[in-house]
Structure 1
């Protein structure tokens, strides 16, 4: 029994180490949250993942969905805690300027396109994206195509100074 518990703990630990940064980035891209806010939501999602680990069929998709929901659930609190980071700035690696540009441009796209593009960037196959977003694989492909075109147009407009 102890061997099985250790194996599960090690499996979860490896999953956490590989995915925590990616999930935080996903939440920022989809919601436009700050890195601090996304990290808090991601941590809450991983706590829930650990509590339900043996029941989760697709942990990569599950934790992204839960982290996004956790962020939206905390939104009223965000207004009252604005600017009060739980850790100092030196504890969080801030993304580069190009990444911030893309995140700002993504914020102009419809939610479904943002979600599809973010999950595609995290290497999810179309069938998994469709399942997690409650749509079809065809709709995923269509949203990805439209999202890429729209993102390109927004970035182009911003770089030309018309934003």
Structure 2
């Protein structure tokens, strides 16, 4: 069981962080949520039928709760963090490879959420099941998100 979970963790945690960033999370928040979600997945490992979908759903919901909570915990010193990136000093380089982030940030939250699930490899039907929406609603939001992304990119090209 430990080896199976370990392989799942290694193949899933970084894409999960990216998935949360695509939904609007800052890197440290995304990393924390991904780590907490993976801990919960390990605790329920034998019960999970589709672990990848489960961690995406749990992480997405945790992000929504985090955004809604907006509270500060002040500390005198920030503890040393353990990075989920291979090279923590390469955050700017990593973000630079993801030109989609400004596009995603310009979208309304539901469109951003649906597009993030799509970028994570889920179909509209899968997304509908995970978010408790109809497939038509997901497809509609995905179409709107794509149109908005095209408009954003055209506008950006015109400025250059």
The answer to whether TM tops 0.5 is yes
Matched, 1:55 2:53: no
Question: Which residue number corresponds to residue 88 of structure 2?
Answer: 91
SS in structure 1 of the partner of residue 81 of structure 2: coil
RMSD after superposition? 2.8
> Equivalent residue for 2:28?
36
- Equivalent position of 2:123 in the other structure: 125
TM-superposed deviation, 1:56 = 2.0
User: How many angstroms apart in 2 are the aligned matches of 1:154 and 1:145?
Assistant: 14
| Displacement after TM superposition at 1:29 (Å) | 0.6
CA contact (8 A) 1:27 1:33 kept: yes
Aligned length: 153
Residues 88 and 114 of structure 1: is their aligned pair in 2 closer, same or farther, counting only changes over 3 Å? same
Corresponding residue SS for 1:96: helix
> Aligned equivalents of 1:9 and 1:160: distance in 2?
52
Check conservation: 1:16, 1:46, Cα contact below 8 A.
yes
What is aligned with 1:12?
5
TM-score computed with the length of structure 2 as normaliser? 0.79
Q: Could you list the runs of 5+ residues in structure 1 that have no partner in the other structure?
A: 1-7
Q: TM-score, normalised by structure 1?
A: 0.78
Distance 1:67 1:118, change over 3 A: same
Check conservation: 1:113, 1:143, Cα contact below 8 A: yes
